[in-house]
């Protein structure tokens, strides 16, 4: 019975579904910006680095990789924030698996930041 209800909720088609998805996405970005300090820092970084990448005298594919590496950080941070919120929703009690989930999410953000440095260094210095 629950599967049928979930299916009906998801069965909205057409522009209405696209519009709702867009609104939910904006809600998620606003929530991350409001509640996640790391996300705000990374948005600040993106606001600076994306225009810099656009103005640098490198090939279009290099610019695309530089900008994509920055956007990847934002995507990974959003996913990490979602994992952390879910873990906290389940329980604020200390648990080794909750710690592991949060640490792995943090590690993913770190790896994406290292990726920015590597991509930019390779594009700029060959």
Instruction: Identify the CATH number of the domain in which residue 76 sits.
Output: 1.10.287.3610
Same domain, residue pair 10 and 47: no
Q: Is residue 3 domain-shared with residue 59, that is, in the same domain?
A: no
User: Residue 2: what pLDDT?
Assistant: 56
Is 53 in a helix, a strand, or coil?
A: helix
Are the CB atoms for 109 and 76 separated by under 8 Å? yes
Considering the domain architecture, whether residues 54 and 94 belong to the same structural domain is answered as: yes
Same domain, yes or no, for 8 and 56? Answer: no
* Euclidean distance between CA atoms 50 and 14, whole angstroms: 33
Provide the annotated active-site residues.
Answer: 77
**Is the Cβ–Cβ distance between 70 and 45 less than 8 Å?**
yes
- Let me know if 49 is exposed, middle or buried by CB neighbors in 10 A (0-12, 13-18, 19+): middle
- For residues 106 and 98, give the distance between their C-alpha atoms in angstroms, rounded to a whole number: 12
77/118 same-domain check: yes
pLDDT digits over 30-86, tens only? 999 999 999 999 999 999 999 999 999 999 999 999 999 999 999 999 999 999 999
Per the structure, the count of domains in the chain is 2
The domain containing residue 86 runs over which residues? 38-125
Residues 88 and 77 in one domain: yes
The pTM (predicted TM-score) of the whole model is 0.86
| Residues 6 or more apart in contact with residue 54 via CB below 8 angstroms | 63, 67
Neighbours of 50 (CB within 10 A): 15
Residues 4 and 47 in one domain: no
Tell me: the pLDDT tens digits for 90-110?
A: 998 999 999 999 999 999 999
């Amino acid at each position: 019975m629950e599967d049928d209800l979930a299916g009906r909720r998801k069965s909205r088609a057409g522009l209405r579904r696209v519009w709702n998805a867009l609104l939910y996405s904006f809600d998620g970005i606003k929530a991350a910006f409001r509640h996640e300090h790391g996300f705000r820092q990374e948005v600040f970084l993106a606001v600076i680095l994306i225009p810099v990448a656009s103005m640098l005298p490198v090939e279009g594919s290099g610019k695309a990789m530089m900008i994509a590496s920055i956007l990847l950080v934002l995507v990974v941070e959003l996913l990490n924030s979602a994992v952390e919120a879910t873990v906290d929703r389940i329980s604020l009690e200390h648990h080794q698996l909750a710690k592991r989930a949060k640490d792995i999410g943090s590690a993913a953000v770190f790896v994406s930041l290292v990726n920015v440095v590597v991509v930019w260094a390779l594009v700029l210095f060959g």
